């Protein structure tokens, strides 16, 4: 399932202090702006009905509508106020700055960043021409413009403006002032986007120190800062400190407004997403439900945040195959988005795409196509069309039309997605999925040669941008092997299959993988065994060698199958105390972090350009490299200090020769591995080894057992024409 666009809405609950600094800068800044409006609206001698009074009325209405979550109507009033102000005062009067600012804030919230930047630039110019160079109003205007520049990806300009704002506030109020702390927070957000994680964290900690030292009630600001540090830690895969900062943020916000405060709901939503990404589905669901309950008590207060949390919860349910519940939440989020920002907002497009992917997974192709088409229409109509997101929808439409059997139309969509994505670079991660999907279409159209070329190109990109044992690389190698098997080119299939199996063994060397990885790894290993059986049939003289290799691969497959039990064993040991428990716990934490970081790296590489910088893929890759080194060290230490435990958790894979050396003259070993469709049997005696495929895998065995159980039910036997009371013949076949 494609999940390129989850982040589009989830980012709404991000840097809660830094999103629009000027719009939530605190009472001093708000009062200063309102004072300017009041001067405009009440000069001497004017009546209640004069134009300036109407300007103020529209301005106040815009603020009220925005507070109620109706940004579209608020924008109409803000623009009316601005137009009337320009008509009354000309376009160079400094009293127009607050009107430009309010219009820009609303445009920014509606996702129209280029228009917002133009108004913020005008507001800054008016203030620069009419205010002293150290006036805090200049710092406020610079904060606002820096915020929208960040969203536009103009990061050097954003950083320069934010540093100027910081210098003004430090000169005017002091380096330890609360105004300077807010500037530090906003500058940290920009530095995070520029991948300067170390300095960003330093600035946030400095801001926290300032607020903690202030002799006033600063719980809300501290909550925002801890929330922002938590986001930063999460992006680096440091889930434990991220959890700690979210917990602190919650404590501060509960102290301010109680358990049902909407800022508490916002932080709970962020914490829920952290728990979701940590694999703690139960904890995530509890937090999501608490946050949504609070938002629903005040549905008009923060609709954008509520839509983001609904989207996050829906993605959790979707991953659990709870499709009906997820669809209900997606639809609720869409309804909120339509009410607040209208049917043409980019977040609406993201939600439509997400719901379309869900409908596609449920097999509702018509509904999926409708949602994908809506998303495509919205994004194509944007002032600066996001080509990568448009490519994402074309990719999804390609998958959909391929499932309908319309290969030609699917190819058109996928080649369009490929063309758009290739503009962003030859190594863009999105190309991997598009190339793989297009390869499948060309394969089904009978062009195996191009299908293989497309997969090879996808593999080359994955090799350059992903760590060696990454599941996506293993999948691509496995797909190439399978494609060459269908073309009866077993030599080429062997080359790719051998690489895939090597990466699987590398993946398994540190211990139990997560459930999703275990399924993939076992599937690849069983495919390797199937290929070795084919090679043995094709090259009878080498059959013994192929059987010996398959015997070892089967043991790796069984080890991956037993991974869940070993994982539970490790969990019990990690809950204890002592050197073994500490080592197991440390290794288990590293394995969890490794899985999280791999998923995070994939998501970052799949994120459209304007938000990708916030993810620091390079930082995450370096974290993965360090974890691999740490895992090797801890595993080696445990193996030396506790060989019995490690032998239990990681059974040694024995070669056929080793096993045969342990057998007596009249002894043998029978090994059976059950795959999905086929089972494989090895018989070892003396110096010989035989391997055979049995056309009865897990699917057939499960169906047979279910049928035998049904034969024990007298009612089922009475009303089923083809069912015998416990079929003895079938049970004997199962046993044999």
pLDDT in tens, 649-663: 666 778 889 888 888
642 & 722 share domain? no
569 & 636 share domain? yes
- Classify residue 733 by burial, with Cβ atoms within 10 Å: 0-12, 13-18, 19+: exposed
Residue with tokens 């195959």: 321
Considering the chain, what is the average pLDDT of its residues?
A: 79
Which range has the worst mean pLDDT, 160-169, 374-383, 402-411?
374-383
673 & 724 share domain? yes
Inform me whether the pLDDT recorded for 240 exceeds 60: yes
Q: Does an H or E element contain 159, and which?
A: helix 155-173
643 & 681 share domain? no
- Could you give phi then psi for residue 690, rounded to 5 degrees? -125, 145
Final residue of a structural domain among 592, 622, 653: 653
In a domain, 400, yes or no: no
Final residue of a structural domain among 629, 653, 677: 653
Inform me whether the pLDDT recorded for 260 exceeds 90: no
Other CB atoms within 10 A of residue 718 CB: 9
Q: Which residues contact 112 (CB under 8 A, 6 or more apart)?
A: 383
Q: What is the pTM assigned to this prediction?
A: 0.70
Mean pLDDT of the region 420-435: 88
570 & 595 share domain? yes
Other CB atoms within 10 A of residue 714 CB: 9
Q: Which residues contact 281 (CB under 8 A, 6 or more apart)?
A: 275, 316, 319, 320
648 & 587 share domain? yes
595 & 634 share domain? yes
Three-state SS for 62-124 is: HHHHHHCCCHHHHHHHHHHHHHHHHHHHCCCCHHHHHHHHHHHHHHHHCCCHHHHHHHHHHHH
In a domain, 487, yes or no: no
Mean pLDDT of the region 146-167: 89
The more confidently predicted of residues 504 and 496 is 496
Residue-wise pLDDT tens digits, 8-51: 222 222 232 222 222 222 222 222 222 222 222 222 333 323 45
677 & 694 share domain? yes
Count of structural domains within the chain = 2
DSSP string covering 46-58: --TTSHHHHHHHH
718 & 667 share domain? yes
What sections of 236-278 are H helices per DSSP?
Answer: 239-257, 262-277
In a domain, 618, yes or no: yes
667 & 722 share domain? yes
Instruction: Assess contact for 37 and 59: CB atoms under 8 A.
Output: yes
637 & 677 share domain? no
Task: Report the C-alpha gap between 603 and 607 in whole angstroms.
Answer: 6
In a domain, 414, yes or no: no
In a domain, 680, yes or no: yes
Which range has the worst mean pLDDT, 191-205, 429-443, 648-662?
648-662
Residue-wise pLDDT tens digits, 65-87: 887 767 788 899 999 999 998 88
Residue with tokens 């600012």: 101
The more confidently predicted of residues 116 and 19 is 116
Task: Report the C-alpha gap between 23 and 26 in whole angstroms.
Answer: 8
Q: Distance of alpha carbon 157 from its chain centroid, rounded? A: 28
Task: Report the C-alpha gap between 637 and 591 in whole angstroms.
Answer: 16
The pLDDT value recorded for residue 34 is: 26
In a domain, 722, yes or no: yes
> Between the ranges 175-189, 214-228, 362-376, 589-603, where is the mean pLDDT highest?
362-376
The pLDDT value recorded for residue 712 is: 57
In a domain, 73, yes or no: no
The more confidently predicted of residues 553 and 567 is 553
592 & 619 share domain? yes
> Between the ranges 243-247, 476-480, 670-674, where is the mean pLDDT highest?
476-480
| pLDDT band at residue 455 under the 50/70/90 scheme | very high
In a domain, 347, yes or no: no
| pLDDT band at residue 324 under the 50/70/90 scheme | very high
Inform me whether the pLDDT recorded for 53 exceeds 90: no
Final residue of a structural domain among 635, 653, 671: 653
Structure tokens at 678: 């086929």
Q: Which domain holds residue 647?
A: 562-653
DSSP letter, residue 651? P
């Amino acid at each position: 399932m494609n999940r390129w666009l989850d982040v589009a809405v989830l980012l709404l609950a991000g840097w809660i202090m830094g999103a629009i600094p000027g719009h939530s800068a605190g009472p001093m800044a708000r009062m200063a702006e309102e004072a300017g409006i009041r001067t405009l609206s009440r000069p001497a001698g004017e009546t209640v009905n004069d134009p300036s009074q109407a300007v103020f009325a529209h301005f106040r209405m815009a603020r009220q509508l925005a507070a109620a979550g109706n940004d579209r109507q608020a924008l109409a009033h803000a623009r009316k106020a601005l137009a009337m102000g320009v008509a009354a005062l000309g376009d160079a009067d400094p009293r127009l700055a607050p009107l430009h600012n309010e219009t820009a804030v609303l445009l920014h919230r509606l996702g129209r960043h280029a228009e917002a930047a133009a108004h913020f630039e005008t507001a800054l110019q008016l203030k620069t021409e009419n205010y002293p160079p150290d006036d805090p109003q200049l710092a406020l205007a610079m904060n606002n413009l820096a915020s929208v520049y960040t969203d536009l990806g103009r990061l050097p300009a954003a950083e320069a403006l934010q540093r100027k704002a910081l210098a003004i506030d430090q000169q005017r109020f002091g380096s330890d002032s609360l105004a300077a702390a807010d500037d530090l927070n906003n500058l940290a957000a920009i530095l995070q986007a520029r991948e300067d994680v170390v300095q960003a964290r330093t600035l946030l900690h400095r801001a926290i120190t300032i607020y903690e030292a202030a002799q006033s009630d600063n719980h809300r600001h501290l909550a925002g800062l801890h929330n922002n540090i938590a986001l930063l830690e999460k992006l680096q895969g440091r889930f434990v400190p991220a959890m700690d900062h979210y917990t602190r943020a919650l404590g501060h916000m509960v102290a301010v407004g109680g358990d049902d405060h909407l800022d508490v709901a916002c932080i709970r939503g962020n914490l829920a997403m952290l728990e979701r990404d940590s694999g703690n589905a139960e904890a995530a669901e509890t937090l999501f439900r608490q946050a949504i309950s609070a938002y629903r008590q005040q549905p008009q207060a923060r609709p954008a945040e509520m839509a983001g949390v609904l989207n996050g919860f829906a993605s959790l349910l979707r991953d659990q195959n709870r499709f009906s519940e997820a669809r209900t939440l997606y639809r609720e989020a869409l309804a909120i988005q339509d009410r607040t920002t209208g049917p043409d907002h980019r977040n609406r497009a993201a939600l439509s795409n997400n719901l379309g992917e869900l409908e596609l997974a449920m097999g509702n192709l018509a509904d999926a196509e409708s949602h994908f088409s809506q998303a495509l229409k919205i994004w194509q109509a944007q002032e600066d069309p996001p080509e990568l997101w448009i490519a994402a929808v074309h990719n999804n439409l390609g998958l959909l039309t391929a499932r309908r059997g319309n290969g030609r139309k699917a190819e058109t969509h996928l080649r369009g997605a490929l063309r758009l994505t290739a503009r962003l670079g030859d190594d863009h991660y999105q190309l991997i999925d598009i190339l793989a999907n297009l390869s499948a279409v060309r394969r089904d159209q009978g062009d195996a040669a191009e299908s293989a070329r497309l997969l090879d190109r996808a593999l080359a990109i994955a090799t350059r941008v992903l760590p060696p044992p990454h599941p996506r690389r293993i999948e691509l190698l496995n797909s190439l092997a399978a494609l060459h098997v269908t073309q009866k080119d077993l030599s080429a299939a062997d080359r790719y299959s051998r690489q895939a199996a090597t990466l699987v063994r590398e993946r398994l060397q540190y211990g139990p993988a997560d459930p999703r990885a275990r399924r993939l790894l076992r599937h690849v290993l069983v495919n390797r065994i199937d290929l070795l059986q084919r090679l043995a049939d094709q090259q009878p003289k080498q059959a013994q060698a192929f059987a010996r290799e398959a015997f070892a691969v089967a043991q790796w497959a069984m080890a991956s199958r037993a991974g869940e039990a070993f994982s539970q064993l490790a969990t019990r040991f990690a809950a204890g105390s002592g050197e073994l428990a500490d080592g197991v716990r440390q290794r288990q934490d590293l394995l969890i972090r490794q899985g999280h970081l791999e998923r995070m790296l994939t998501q970052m590489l799949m994120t459209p350009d304007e938000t990708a910088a916030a993810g620091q893929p390079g930082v995450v890759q370096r974290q993965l490299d360090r974890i691999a080194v740490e895992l090797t060290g801890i595993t080696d230490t445990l193996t030396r200090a506790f060989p019995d435990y490690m032998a239990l958790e990681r059974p040694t894979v024995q070669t056929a020769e080793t096993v045969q050396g342990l057998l007596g003259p009249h002894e043998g070993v029978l090994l059976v591995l059950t795959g999905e469709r086929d089972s494989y049997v090895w018989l070892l005696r003396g110096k010989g080894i035989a391997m055979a495929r049995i056309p009865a895998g897990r699917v057939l065995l499960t169906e047979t057992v279910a049928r035998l159980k049904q034969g024990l039910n007298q009612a089922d036997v009475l009303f089923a024409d083809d069912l015998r009371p416990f079929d003895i013949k079938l049970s004997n076949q199962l046993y044999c």
